[in-house]
Amino acid sequence: MADFFFHTLAGQLILMVLETLAVLVPLLIGVAYLTLMERKVMAAMQLRRGPNVNGIFGLLQAFADAIKMITKETIIPAGANRFLFLFAPFLTFSLAMTAWAVIPTGNGLAVANINVGILYLLAISSLGVYGMLIAGWASNSKYAFLGSLRSAAQMVSYEVSIGLVIVSVLLAVGSLNLNDIVLAQRHIWFCVPMFPMFILFFISALAETNRAPFDLPEGESELVAGFFVEYSSLSFGLFFLGEYANMILMSGMVSILFLGGWLPPLGIAPLTWIPGPLWLIAKILFCLFVFIWTRATFPRFRYDQLMRLGWKVFLPFSLLWMIATAGFLLATGLLPQGVS
């Protein structure tokens, strides 16, 4: 009877909603506690205590921050475009959530296990710049507008390098399916043979998510707070959550493409006793720790240094690596059938 129900249209819709909630609810909790993790890790690195008032060890700090943002007044500038001003943070946050539809947490465990999952991720991440552009334009503020233009130029610049790195991985796999990319790393993770691309992708992920030392769109010293300088209360909170959700998403992409996804480091007991989703979570947490570590270590780049790194270093290097990868696979006969 249960099997018959889940094969009906209503049953499939309910199943889809349950699968979506199974991904979104832990993700929202993870975003909330990532803010706490960042403050705790940076406090430890700077010999401070960090949040320690709300709850045991400050574990309720994330909820206190959420209540504070929800209860504050939303202030809209007099000359702002009201609809677009409120729509921009919602767009940024919803795109960060939508991208998780194709991220597999286990073999075949994804809300949508589509064959072009990597293209879906590239498309969603490319749309993310629109939220920042709309926010900067709709705010009717020169600081916000300059911040949004910086963000657009920065994200477009580093998406080119990210795309070439992904193509190098796809050449070795012969599939656009994220599940197949993970399974292709059963014997060796791609971070070993493609170590330079692994580092390049991670640095590009920092720039793509506007994280320090590439947080030029925010630039407190010259742009006050960049594209969201006019935002407050819940609308600011959505931008805040969207940034941290994008951090988790890019860490997930690093884990899927280079760190074997849900696969253990070695296919031996007791490593194989640990469920695959826990391995993926552990790898994502490691990447997030490096995100925070980088912020606590490096000063902000100048904008010309940011552009020079993207166009004069990362782009030619990733292009040469992609050509070398294709040539090596073709010469050795290792090119997957789907590519040839």
pLDDT tens-digit profile of 146-177? 888 888 888 888 999 999 999 999 999 988 99
- Kindly indicate the confidence band of residue 221, based on its pLDDT and cuts at 50, 70 and 90: low
This prediction's pTM: 0.90
How is residue 226 written in tokens? 């960049």
pLDDT at 4: 53
Residue 211 pLDDT > 90:
no
Whether 1 has a pLDDT exceeding 70, the answer reads no
**204 or 339, greater pLDDT:** 204
pLDDT at 106: 84
Contact 103, 177 (CB under 8 A): no
In terms of Cα–Cα distance, which of 162, 181, 193 is closest to 338? 181
SS3 percent helix, strand, coil of the chain, rounded to 5, is: 70, 0, 30
* pLDDT category of residue 59 using cuts at 50, 70 and 90: confident
Task: Give pLDDT, residue 340.
Answer: 45
Written as six digits, the tokens of 75 are 């202030």
Scan for tokens 């050509």, then name that residue.
323
Average pLDDT in the 48-70 region? 87
Segment 299-322 mean pLDDT: 92
Contact (CB, 8 A) for 89 and 235: yes
Q: What average pLDDT score do residues 288-311 get?
A: 91
Report pLDDT digits (tens) over 17-32.
777 777 788 888 888 8
Residue 81 pLDDT: 86
Q: What is the mean pLDDT of the chain?
A: 86
pLDDT at 43: 93
User: How high is the pLDDT of residue 204?
Assistant: 93
Question: Which of 115-119, 120-124, 229-233, 292-296 tops mean pLDDT?
Answer: 292-296
Task: Retrieve residue 140's tokens.
Answer: 């009717």
